[in-house]
Amino acid sequence: MKPMNCDEIRDGLLELLGNELEPRKAAELQAHLDGCPSCARELQELGEAWDSLPDSIEAEPPLALRARVIGLAKAEIDQRSPSLLGVRDSVREIAGPVMAGAAGALGLITLAHFRGATAPLSQPLVVALSLALASGLALAVGGLMGARIRPPTRAVLTGSLAAFGGYVLLTAMLPISDTVHFCGLVLFGTLPLSLGQLCLTYLSVAALYAGVPMAIATYVWGGGGGGPSDDRTIGLTEGLVFTLLAVPLVLLQSGFEPWVIPLGAVIGFGFGAVAGGFAGRWTHLWVLRGAGG
Amino acid sequence: MLMERYARGDLDAFEELYRRYEGRVYGFCLRFLGDPDGAADAFQDVFLRLIGARHKYEARGRFAQWIFAIARRVCVDGVRGSRREAYHDDSLRATENTVSVDPVESLAHKDALQRLLQRMPAEQREVLLLSRYYGFKYGEIAEMTGSTEAAVKQKAYRAVQSIRRTRRDETGRRA
């Protein structure tokens, strides 16, 4: 066995102080210490320094913190109890954001109707089919999810689904170009739109149809996160998932429109989705902090 | 496992977790930061993160290692935050060359241990506290701090050396 040198001894001394030393290594150390007064003195002085520290540093936190922290835990459990997350509840949770998207869509279309646009409400069958499609998506994913999927994943799935449902609802009723015309008309009261107005229209549509339902879904499902990294992860993942879902529809419906329309839609909806995810997650954390007083 | 029971919505399990860890976590925050107000904020933040992670928690290692990894993260951020605040505070800026803004100082005049802790950098302080008072092995501390075992041992060695020097200085002054 190769004898330990003084440099190697240093690690051993610390392990000895921390009771981490294996018996074999302890024997090697002892053999070195027996023949090395310098290291023996080092051990003695380190041991004295170590032993001079108080035995415990436990301290009683302020009493008010106990009620506050336990109140936070209780609020979080009450808000989202896993035992309640059966299929029916999952569907209910998902249906909410989708219906919010649908309500937003109907509101915007109604507003467009009163400002002189062609009334899409005269196509009740298309509206009903779109609602059924959006709800069917929600039910399908909700049924698959049950209670076993972790909340950040739920937040991503339901947020993307909610945005997608709102988007499907709108675009199934109208081609993408008509959608932009309607929304542009609501915003600017005139057609055709300039390029700048078109960009603003896409961002507004994104905020309403992607961001709002996604923020609601993320808020509702955001109970499992822990900090800023989760905000970022959830927001960006939602944006990616939703954009991947929306791209084929945007491209299919854009037809022969100028290149700016599909590109604007993808950028706009992606932006809305990311912003929605962040908004929902931050709101959730803000409410959670507020619950603790 | 208490955390798993809590993850299923058992508030009693959380209360038991709180009871078991409140003194240890608060003691760590207090000794690391040296400031009772800062320690109370950090302590609350640790449990807030625990609550937020209810559904994400996976029992891969010891719970104690997990919660103290959170605690040291919160405290390290707290020290950085207090330094930033001090830098941006005009009243302190004028005297920053002569006045220490280390938050550990506020307990130091009362307490010998705090005097020792304030003389070492935060990274040595955390290693000393975690190994000496919470029984974590150097390898575990390396995992908790995202460092290597060799680096942790070196910090521990320097921390104990710092205590030895301080003791020597104080003995010399008394003599």
The complex's ipTM works out to 0.78
B160 contact A CB<8A: yes
- The H-assigned helical ranges of B53-88 are 63-88
Q: What are phi and psi of B159, to 5 degrees?
A: -65, -45
B29 Cβ contact list (under 8 Å, min separation 6): B38, B39, B40, B42, B43, B46, B71, B74, B75
Q: What six digits make up the tokens of A212?
A: 């709002």
Q: Which of A11-25, A101-115, B148-162 has the lowest mean pLDDT?
A: A101-115
Q: Which of A183-197, B109-123, B160-174 has the lowest mean pLDDT?
A: A183-197
Q: Which pLDDT score is estimated for A93?
A: 53
CB A210 within 8 A of CB A242: yes
Q: Which pLDDT score is estimated for A4?
A: 66
Question: Of A245, A235, A223, which Cα lies nearest the Cα of A141?
Answer: A245
Asked if the Cβ–Cβ distance from A69 to B47 is below 8 Å, we say: yes
Q: Which of A23-27, A41-45, A112-116 has the lowest mean pLDDT?
A: A112-116
Q: Distances from the Cα of B14 to the Cαs of A70, A127, A194, B27, B143, in angstroms? A: 8, 48, 58, 19, 25
Of A49, A66, A74, the CB nearest to B163: A49
Buried b (16+ CB within 10 A) or exposed e, A128-137: eebbeebbeb
Mutate to test the interface with A, among B32, B55, B163 (most CBs of A within 10 A): B55
Q: Which pLDDT score is estimated for A89?
A: 52
User: Does B137 have pLDDT greater than 60?
Assistant: yes
CB A283 within 8 A of CB A215: yes
Query: Quick one: average pLDDT of B148-159?
Result: 89
Most confident of A70-84, A136-150, A251-265: A70-84
Chain B CA closest to residue A45: B164
Query: Quick one: average pLDDT of A66-81?
Result: 80
AA letter at B133: Y
Name the residue with higher pLDDT: A83 or A63.
A63
Q: What is the pLDDT of residues B59-99, one digit of tens each?
A: 667 889 999 999 999 998 877 766 544 444 433 333 333 33
CA distance A237 to chain B (A): 17
pTM for the structure as a whole: 0.52
Q: Which pLDDT score is estimated for B18?
A: 94
Asked if the Cβ–Cβ distance from A70 to B18 is below 8 Å, we say: yes
Query: Cα(A155)–Cα(B52) distance, rounded to whole angstroms?
Result: 14
AA letter at B116: L
Mean pLDDT score across all residues of chain B: 79
Residues of B in contact with A48 (CB under 8 A): 164, 167
Q: What six digits make up the tokens of A148?
A: 């076993």
Q: What is the pLDDT of residues B13-63, one digit of tens each?
A: 899 999 999 999 999 999 999 888 889 999 999 999 999 888 777 666 788
Chain B CA closest to residue A44: B164
Mean pLDDT score across all residues of chain A: 66
Residues of B in contact with A66 (CB under 8 A): 18, 22
Name the residue with higher pLDDT: A216 or A134.
A216
CA distance B89 to chain A (A): 26
Percentage of chain A beyond pLDDT 70 is 39
- What distance lies between CA B52 and its chain's CA centroid? 20
Residues of B in contact with A145 (CB under 8 A): none
Place of tokens 């003084």: A6
Residues of A in contact with B52 (CB under 8 A): 76, 223-227, 285, 288
Most confident of A139-153, A195-209, B127-141: B127-141
Q: Which of A168-182, A222-236, A253-267, B42-56 has the lowest mean pLDDT?
A: A222-236
Mutate to test the interface with B, among A57, A60, A65 (most CBs of B within 10 A): A57
B54 contact A CB<8A: yes
Chain B CA closest to residue A79: B9
Query: Cα(B135)–Cα(B129) distance, rounded to whole angstroms?
Result: 9
Asked if the Cβ–Cβ distance from B52 to A288 is below 8 Å, we say: yes
Q: What is the pLDDT of residues A94-108, one digit of tens each?
A: 555 556 555 655 665
CB A220 within 8 A of CB A80: no
CA angle A207, A184, A112 (to 5 degrees): 95
CB A34 within 8 A of CB A3: no
* CB atoms near residue B85 (< 10 Å): 12
